[in-house]
Structure 1
Amino acid sequence: MPDFRGLTRRQLRAFAATVERGSVSGAAITMGVTPPAISTQLKLLEEMVGAPLFHRDGPHPFAPTEIGAELLGLAQDFERLAARAGERVDALIAGATGSVAFGVVSTGKYLAPYFVAAFNRAFPDIRVTLEIGNREEIIAGLERDEYDVAMMGRPPAHIRVETATLGDHPHVLIAPPGHRLQGDNQILAEDLVEERFLAREPGSGTRILMERFLARLGGGRPFNVVEMGTNETIKQSVMAGLGVAIISAHTCRMELKDGHLISLPVTGLPLVRQWFLLTRVDPAPSRAALKFRDFFIAKRAALWPKV
């Protein structure tokens, strides 16, 4: 079996040029070398293969044999692959291809896919991996350098990241249609003390925001809080009449629009915070990650949902 480990691009190009031009001298002109240089490459190639590459006795002395045709195909494939590799390297240098790991806190899953989809349409050769987790999980991923870019509310103070403000993040008090306080424009703390508040796990950004608001509203009075695992569970539970919830308006904008949920007007609500885009500083982000970040920031106004 021939050992092709010593095969070179120069040999393949010399062979392909000889077949194409029909002569060694023609191949030499194409490659900008002397005819003896072409002959040397052809000789080395035939010795490596161990069989003739040309039908030298026929009317076309440089027509390839069946074995030569296989090598000609290899030479053509090699040139295509080399050209494609060059294009991809140029694209990598320009940041137009590659991959991006994008970590998003769970509340952001109602926003982030639209940005990723828009980015994929603009840069189809950059693969974006979207990972959803709670705040603690996304921060842990940033600490382990698992994400190139992340999206959350409060940026962690202990991690070196570059932050950019994306847009408003309003939080509202939701209740089921027909709730006893629906239509009341002067809802007081006393009215809410009787309510059961459905909330995310401790440490969640939404949970912290809710607890701070209720503490200010109630002057330290305790509220009935029931913990639930996801925003979807909270929404469904509120619709079922199990309680009320202070939640991101982005997570329930369709339910509010369709009338499956209502927003209760309470002084101090909506609580408006900000969404931030975090880009890792150390190690330095890839060109693809920077391309993703810049696209996200440039398109935020057009893609940001109106609540």
Structure 2
Amino acid sequence: MYRPMLHRLTHRQLEAFRAVIETGKITAAADMLGTTQPSISRAVSDLESAAGFALFERRGRQVVPTSEALALYEEVERSFVGLAEISRVIADIRDFRKGSLLIAGMPALALKFLPDVIADFARAEPGIVVSLRARSSQAVLRHLSSQQFDLGFAAIDTDHPAVLRRAICSSPMRAVMPIGHFLAQKPSLEPADFHEQPFIALGHEISTRSETDLFFASAKTRPRIVAEAQLSASICELVASGTGLSIVEPVTAINFAAAGKVISRPLHPEQPFRYDLLLPALREPSRAAARFLGLVESRFATLLGT
């Protein structure tokens, strides 16, 4: 028994069939689809051949659908409604009306800097949902290596084969001191300025701690360590309370100074600090991620003058 070659069905055939059903004329269907009458006739004929039964009766210029055609139309219409929904989703993604970003950031950036960027991004692209995870730099690296996160922000020298790492901003560390501190009269602070002064240090497990220790050791300076903390924000809160002086990464120092909670000064000689951008190595950044990065770079430039 003969069976029609249903694998020859094409979207163009179904599109022509649907247009003829809805307009009742071959010429009107051609106008609707922006094509020619012979093209519509050929597509409908090919569909009839593939289906194995007639779809229309020709009555002069009118074409009347058969009962089989009407049954087919119901299913075709459901499919086209689904395609219309897919088209709408595609347009939403293209125009940034739909999507998501998953970001992991070191606390120095995740507590204020990145939320400020997210607020700007949300105003510009309200259809994109941004999720932020505050993690240690090592944890940020692990998250990005899973390929599940879109962007990571850290300060880390360790590489991973599944992660692309590049510097997104470099700027020197800064001294922070309580409001009204006598050293605030100086435009910059040197190692000797910290000698025997109460000092809040980074924890020994933080890589920058060794660089700060070297900053003091090179000048044979010994601050009096009264407390230690892991996070720059925690250190700045201790400084704001009058507990002592400290040296922290520049974003947190400048944000606390701008809020009027501490006084911040540059160091001489400079103690460099680098913020790293981490990207999943196995896939390209999305258009939304690229747009977000543009805002990050702009805020770094505004805040730190880089």
**Could you tell which deviates more after superposition, 225-234 or 295-304?**
295-304
Partners of 1:280 and 1:74 lie apart in 2 by 39
Tell me which of the two structures has the higher relative contact order, counting C-alpha pairs closer than 8 angstroms and 6 or more residues apart: 1
**Structure 1, residues 165-206: CA drift from partner, whole Å, max 9, x if none?**
323323111111122433257967565343333244433344
Q: Select 1:33's aligned residue among 42, 49, 68.
A: 42
Q: Which residue of 2 aligns with 1:53?
A: none
Q: Select 2:185's aligned residue among 178, 183, 186.
A: 183
1:109-120 alignment, distance < 5 Å: 109=110, 110-115=112-117
Please tell me whether residue 292 in structure 1 is matched to residue 289 in structure 2.
yes
1:219-234 alignment, distance < 5 Å: 221=222, 223-234=224-235
Q: Which residue of 1 aligns with 2:107?
A: 106
What is the letter of the counterpart of residue 289 of structure 2?
Answer: F
Q: Which residue of 1 aligns with 2:214?
A: 212
Residues 169, 249 of structure 1: 8 Å contact kept:
yes
| Residue-pair matches, total | 284
What is the letter of the counterpart of residue 228 of structure 1?
Answer: A
Residues 173, 267 of structure 2: 8 Å contact kept:
no
What is the letter of the counterpart of residue 240 of structure 2?
Answer: M
What is the letter of the counterpart of residue 176 of structure 1?
Answer: P
Deviation at 1:251, TM superposition (A): 1.0
Partners of 2:234 and 2:205 lie apart in 1 by 18
For normalisation by structure 2, the TM-score amounts to 0.65
Q: Percent identity?
A: 21
Partners of 1:272 and 1:107 lie apart in 2 by 16
Deviation at 1:135, TM superposition (A): 1.8
Deviation at 1:133, TM superposition (A): 1.2
For normalisation by structure 1, the TM-score amounts to 0.65
Counterparts in 2 of 1:182 and 1:103: CA distance versus 1, 3 Å: same
Helix, strand or coil: the match of 1:277?
strand
Deviation at 1:245, TM superposition (A): 1.8
Q: Which residue of 2 aligns with 1:276?
A: 276
**Structure 1, residues 59-103: CA drift from partner, whole Å, max 9, x if none?**
9965999989965752441341354477689x6xxx998655433
Structure 2 unaligned segments of length 5 or more: list them: 1-8, 30-36, 56-61
Residues 104, 152 of structure 2: 8 Å contact kept:
yes
Please tell me whether residue 170 in structure 1 is matched to residue 172 in structure 2.
yes
Q: Select 1:78's aligned residue among 79, 82, 89.
A: 82
Deviation at 1:150, TM superposition (A): 2.5
Helix, strand or coil: the match of 1:236?
helix
Partners of 1:157 and 1:228 lie apart in 2 by 26
